Each structure stands twice: as structure tokens, then as C-alpha cells.
Amino acid sequence: MAGRGNPHISCAAAAIGASAFPFAPAFAAVSAVTADVTVVTGDGKKILLRAADVEDFRAGLRGQLLLPGATGYEDARKIFNGMFDRRPALIARCLGAADVVRAVRFARAYELLVAVRGGGHSLSGQSVCDDGLMIDLSLMRGVRVDPNERLTRAGGGALLGDIDRETLPFGLVTTTGTVSHTGAGGLMLGGGFGRVARRFGLTCDQLTSVDVVTADGQLLEASATENPDLFWAIRGGGGNFGIATSFEYRLHPFDGRAVGGHMVFPIEQARQALRGFGELFDRASDGLWIEPILTTTPGGGRALVMDVCLTEDLESADAILASYRRLEKPLKDTVGPVHYVQLQTQDDERARIGGRYYAKSGFVRQISDDLVDTMLEIIRSAPVPRARIALPPKGAAVDRVAPDATAFWHRDALYSVLLQASGDDAAEDAANVGWARSQWPALEKFTAGFYANTNLSEMPSARVRDAYGGNYERLLSLKRKYDPTNLFRLNANIDPKGVATEVG
Ligand SMILES: Cc1cc2nc3c(=O)[nH]c(=O)nc-3n(C[C@H](O)[C@H](O)[C@H](O)COP(=O)(O)OP(=O)(O)OC[C@H]3O[C@@H](n4cnc5c(N)ncnc54)[C@H](O)[C@@H]3O)c2cc1C
């Protein structure tokens, strides 16, 4: 984008084109590696790396290489889901594409087990590994906006909030998800849906170009004209094809004005409200996004919450929302004029970083009466204090793209169903996980396909190929081309051997 228009470069842009920036990161000095390091390879073998080789790797990084015991190691290995307490042998905290190239070449040379950390929000803990190499992009959060071209370029570790906060002041937006501390990279790679996806399409539909370090340690640009097969695969194919060091997204005019908030219905009315909602939302306009959530409440009760966001036709908001308000009598209704960024951050605390989460999800085509009854039975009888079943919506612009236009296949699913149990205490994990696992089969029968971004490694009955549907065979051949040794395996993994991976 350089040289075009009048681009705004955010002050947080330290990581993009980072070699152009004169300042060094405020890192504590990391001491030289003097002892050999035991690591694990991708196929689980333990090997010993010579101290001199690890030191050579460390010394060539602009960022840091952290080993257990180093200052910053304990923080760097933490991810969003506190259930995962894994200890990589090496953490490469990259500051730019050159660091990522170096880390990938080092990993490839020794066939190391590699975890790639973007925003760290993999619910199933894919971004951290025991005894392998964690390639950490979390310092690469720069966002650059070109208002004239309506494009934004974001670093491989940028968070959703980084993008919203940089683009909205220019009256521009792209599709992101609903919790601002989620990583944009991981979200895009699997598809990416959120409050404006029905208007503009999935996050992966906004991608115009991406820089990718492939398994052979090459930095490639992928776009409609450069490496178009990789560009196709990376838009929905997960982290299988390489490490994306920066993403360029299309932006859309949007002044940030929205009508949104929560309508809360008593659980006794949830059956009628949800059934009515399903019929209404089938005909909803592109600008309306409503996520129904059945949830436990702090006092031990249950409720139906409808999380609402309208971003178009605001002058008709009352008329558009009236039929939803009439579904039943809301106990509480906070829906009103609000800035979009406020909606985009309203769940940040509920989805607390470091909390302990267990979730299962699948795509559903419609809200049938049987699905509603099953959801209610599950939430009513939930013995765990913090349980929820959400139906995040898609449809409209998402479904107007052909399923084979990008690697994201499940375009026609109007919703996902997401079952989640969470807690703060490790002592609650067994009960939470046990409950969610035991209830999932009843919900799973309403699903068709899975989201590559949600907890696949924890879905015993799922097959990864169901996440990619009719695109699986093409993705498999591209996996064989770009990552024949399966260096990038900690994701919704397409095994180049073509094994229909049973995960769990
Ligand atoms: C609280 C919460 C809210 C969510 N809300 C939504 C939502 O509204 N919409 C939605 O679509 N999804 C949502 N998700 C799911 C989310 O899309 C995935 O968890 C996604 O993987 C998170 O990306 P990350 O970069 O934070 O994850 P990480 O844990 O860093 O990475 C997840 C996977 O992506 C790979 N990866 C990440 N960055 C890169 C990169 N730059 N290059 C190559 N590989 C990379 C990693 O290797 C790993 O396999 C949510 C998840 C959470 C925990």
C-alpha cells in the first residue's frame, strides 16, 4: 500500500515492516544459550539440540528466544484458555517476517513440534505445546489503514480490537468476531464471523493479500494474482499452510453508529421466544445480527439472552426490532443506540483471559423445534455453575459466496450451536468437561459440519474432514504441496498422508 493515497500508520505499528522502525523492543537481555536443549519432534521423538545450534538460532533473531526459566517465559507460554498449562522447550517471540522465516527454518531442520501463537485464543490449546517450539506472533500487532484505498494491513498477531480501533476512526470497518481480545489471524484462517458478517461476508472474504511463511521457510505473498492456490487455501483452511505474518483486508464505509444491547427473556418463555426467533430471523435483513444464548445466571437461575446488533437502517430500528421484542415479554431490554466498538468489547470481561473453558460446536441450518427443546433440556439440567448454549448467526452475505470460492465450505449454515462450560478453578474442570462431553451428542445430531476454529481436537466424534466439507480433497492436495511433512500440525489438521484424522 505504501505510496498510495494518504495512509495512516498507527502508533502501534511497530511490527509491520518492522526493520524500517529504528527503535528496539524494551526486552530484558536474554542470555546466551550454553546448555544443550531437549526438544520433541512433530512425531513425538525426544532429541537433543546442541547448545551452539540453539544459540546461533537465538542470536539471529530480532525478537527473543525464551527457554524455561528465562524472564518472560512464564507469561509468554500462557494462552487465553487457562486449562492449558504447557511448557514449550523454546519460545521464539518474533518481531517480523524475518524472525518467522528463521524460526520455521530452524524447526524444519530438526523436524520440531511447532505451535503457532497468534492471539492465543484457540479453545483447544493448539497455540502452545509441551517440549516443542512455540512460534509466538503476539508482538506483531501493528495495524496500518489506507483510508483512500479502503484497505488495512494487520500483523500476524493483531487482535480484533486492534483492527476495529484503528479502522473505525476513519469511518471504515471489516468483519471481525465478537470478543476484542481474540486474534484476527487465527479467526481469519478458519473463516471468521461476527456482528457485520451478514453485511460484508466472513473475515476471510475480506482478505485481499497475505504474507505467508511456508514450511520450506520461504516468504510468499498470496493474493488473487500471486500464489492463488495458497490464497484460496488460507481463507478457511486453518493454520495448515504456513505462518501468516501480515494480512491485508478490505474495508467498508461504516460510521460506527449501531443499535444494540441485550434482550433478556425468562427461561419459562424461552421455548416460544426461540421458536419464534427462528422464523423471524430467517427473513432478517443483512444489517441485523442477533445471537440467542441460553445461559445460567449468577444466582443459579437460567435465562435466554438475545445479543443484538443492528448496523443498517437505524432510523427504522424500532420497527425492525418490534417483532423480536414481541416474541415474549423481555425481563430486561438494553437495546438502544450505541457505538459499535462498545458492542465489540462488551463481552471482553465475561470471556476472561486465563479463565478455564471447554466448548463444543457445530453448524446448524435452522432452529428446529426439536433443537430448541434439546437446548432447553440441557441448560435447565446443567449441574455446572457457568454453562451456555449459543447460536451465533451467519447467513446473508456469508451465504452469497460459493462454498468452493474459498476453503470455508459451510456457507449455508445460518447458525453454529456452541455448548460451553467454564470456570475459574482447576478443581471444576473435570465436572465441566464431563458435563459438556456428555451433553454434546444430543446437540451434535442437529449439526452438519464443524468450524475449523472451534475445539476440534476436543471433539472425539468429529472428523476433521467434516470441517472442510467438499473442499477437503483440494485442501489435501495443497497441503501436500505446501507442507508435505506436516510441520504445521497443531490446528484442525489436514494430514498430508490423507488419513481421515479421528481427533480427540
Ligand atoms: C473468547 C472467544 C471468542 C471467539 N469469538 C469468535 C467469533 O466471534 N467469531 C469467530 O469466527 N470465531 C470466534 N472465536 C474462535 C476463534 O476464531 C479461534 O479461537 C481462533 O483460532 C483464534 O485465533 P487466535 O489467533 O487468537 O488463536 P491462536 O490460539 O493464537 O491460534 C489458533 C490457531 O490458529 C493458528 N494461527 C493463529 N495465528 C496464525 C497466523 N498468523 N499464521 C498461521 N497460523 C496462525 C495457530 O497455529 C492455531 O492453530 C472465539 C474464540 C474465543 C476464545
pLDDT digits (tens, 9 = 90+) for 242-270: 999 999 999 999 999 999 999 999 999 99
Q: 191: CA distance to ligand 1 center in Å?
A: 10
> Ligand 1: distance of its center to the CA of 275 in Å?
31
Distance from the alpha carbon of residue 155 to the mean position of ligand 1, in angstroms: 14
Give Cα separations from 240 to 110, 128, 235, 356, 359 (angstroms). Answer: 19, 16, 11, 26, 22
Q: What is the pLDDT of residue 459?
A: 46
Cα of 464 from ligand 1 centre, angstroms? 16
Which atom of ligand 1 approaches the CA of 177 most closely?
8
Ligand 1 pocket check for 114: Cβ under 6 Å = no
DSSP string computed for 151-173:
EEEEETT-BHHHHHHHHGGGTEE
Residue 382 CB–ligand 1 contact under 6 Å: no
User: Residue 287: CB within 6 Å of ligand 1?
Assistant: no
If you average pLDDT over every residue of the chain, what do you get? 92
pLDDT tens per residue across span 32-60 = 999 999 999 999 999 999 999 999 999 99
Strand extents, DSSP E, 383-490? 387-390, 415-423
Q: Is the pLDDT of residue 391 over 80?
A: yes
pLDDT reported for residue 422: 96
Give, using CA atoms, the residue closest to atom 21 of ligand 1: 186
Q: How confident is the model at residue 498 (pLDDT cuts 50, 70, 90)?
A: confident
Residue nearest to atom 49 of ligand 1 (CA): 491
Residue 456 confidence class, pLDDT cut points 50, 70, 90: low
Residue 116 CA, closest ligand 1 atom number? 47
Of the chain, the percentage scoring pLDDT greater than 70 comes to 91
The pLDDT value recorded for residue 384 is: 86
Give the separation between CA 173 and CA 344, rounded to whole angstroms: 12
Label residue 24 by pLDDT band (50, 70, 90): very low
**pLDDT tens readout for residues 282-313:** 999 999 999 999 999 999 999 999 999 999 99
Q: How far apart are CA 129 and CA 123, in angstroms?
A: 14
- pLDDT for res 326: 94
* Ligand 1 nearest atom to the CA of residue 128, by list position: 29
125 lines ligand 1 (CB under 6 A): no
Rounded CA separation 68/438 (Å): 37
Q: Which three cell numbers stand for residue 400?
A: 452469497
Please give the pLDDT value at position 409. 97
Say which residue the cell 425481563 belongs to.
331
Probe residue for ligand 1, chosen from 122, 180, 207 as the CB with the greatest number of ligand atoms within 8 Å:
122
Are 180 and 195 in contact by the 8 Å Cβ rule? The answer is: no
Residue in 86, 205, 453 to alter for ligand 1 test, most ligand atoms within 8 A of Cβ: 453
How high is the pLDDT of residue 454? 84
**How high is the pLDDT of residue 90?**
98
Does 2 or 210 have the greater pLDDT score? 210
Strand partners, 37: 49
Task: Give the separation between CA 296 and CA 363, rounded to whole angstroms.
Answer: 22
Distance 246 CA to ligand 1 centre (A): 15
Residue 235 and residue 408 in contact, taking contact as beta carbons nearer than 8 Å: yes
Ligand 1, atom 28: nearest CA belongs to which residue? 120
- Residues 139-191 have pLDDT tens digits of 999 999 999 999 999 999 999 999 999 999 999 999 999 999 999 999 999 99
- The pLDDT of residue 27 is above 80: no
Q: What is the pLDDT of residues 88-109, one digit of tens each?
A: 999 999 999 999 999 999 999 9
pLDDT-above-90 percentage for the chain: 88
pLDDT above 80 (res 487): yes
Q: What is the pLDDT of residues 221-237, one digit of tens each?
A: 999 999 999 999 999 99
pLDDT at site 28:
52
Report which ligand 1 atom has the smallest distance to the Cα of 193: 11
CB 156 near ligand 1, within 6 Å: yes
